[in-house]
């Protein structure tokens, strides 16, 4: 008669442990792939938010790096001391208090983004209120850059934010619209 071998109860445990360790080691790779895909498709959010943060924290070097070449040239020729943060100071009211943070709020109509250009409203929070800023960006050779911004207005009205976003309201436009 054939004798049946019994499986050791430890062998299945080792299989589960090995599978668990393989699964855990794959998570960072999957997260990195997901981050890369998200960054490529939504890099304009990071560019816009980081630009606004740098601008309002008066980090001239960082804010300037986010500008397109045309915006950099305009800044050098038209802003006090050739600095983008100097141009922005004119739009910031002392009544707002201290700058606290920025959040992405609203994007323009995706149908208008066939040429890799985006406009987005960023809500900035200040000690005494919130201020809307629209940032216009384009993709140049795989990098998102800021071409212009407008707003710097206290906003509690989504219609006002939408009119800024659509370009119907060019309040505090930088660079100023060509007349």
CATH 3.30.70 fits 17-166, yes or no: no
Helices (H) and strands (E) in the chain — how many of each?
Answer: 5, 4
Tokens 């995706």 sit at which residue? 110
pTM here? Answer: 0.70
| pLDDT at residue 38, rounded to an integer | 42
Domain boundaries, the chain: 17-166
Q: Is 52 exposed, middle or buried (0-12, 13-18, 19+ CB in 10 A)?
A: buried
Along the chain (179 residues), what's the average pLDDT of each consecutive run of 10 residues?
A: 55 66 63 46 80 94 95 94 91 90 67 63 87 87 88 73 68 74
| pLDDT at residue 40, rounded to an integer | 45
| pLDDT at residue 133, rounded to an integer | 87
Alpha helices per DSSP H over 57-68: 60-65
Report how far residue 116's alpha carbon sits from residue 119's, in angstroms, rounded to the nearest whole number. 10
Report how far residue 23's alpha carbon sits from residue 31's, in angstroms, rounded to the nearest whole number. 12
The continuous run of DSSP H or E covering 174 comes out as none
Report how far residue 88's alpha carbon sits from residue 53's, in angstroms, rounded to the nearest whole number. 12
Helix (H, G, I), strand (E, B) or coil at 68: coil
């Amino acid at each position: 008669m054939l004798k049946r071998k019994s499986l050791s109860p430890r062998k299945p445990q080792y299989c589960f442990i090995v599978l668990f360790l393989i699964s855990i080691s794959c998570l960072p790779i999957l997260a990195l792939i997901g981050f890369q895909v998200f960054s490529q498709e939504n890099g304009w959010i990071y560019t816009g938010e980081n630009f606004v943060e740098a601008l309002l924290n008066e980090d001239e070097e960082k804010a300037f790096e986010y500008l397109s070449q045309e915006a950099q040239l305009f800044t050098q020729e038209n802003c006090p001391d050739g600095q983008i943060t100097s141009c922005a100071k004119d739009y910031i009211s002392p009544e707002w208090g201290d700058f606290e943070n920025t959040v992405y709020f609203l994007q323009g109509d995706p149908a208008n983004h066939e040429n890799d250009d985006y406009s987005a409203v960023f809500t900035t929070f200040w000690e005494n209120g919130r201020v809307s800023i629209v940032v216009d960006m384009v993709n140049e050779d795989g990098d998102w850059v800021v071409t212009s911004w407008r707003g710097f207005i206290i906003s509690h009205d989504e219609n006002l934010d939408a009119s800024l976003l659509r370009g119907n309201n060019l309040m505090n436009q930088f660079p100023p619209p060509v007349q």
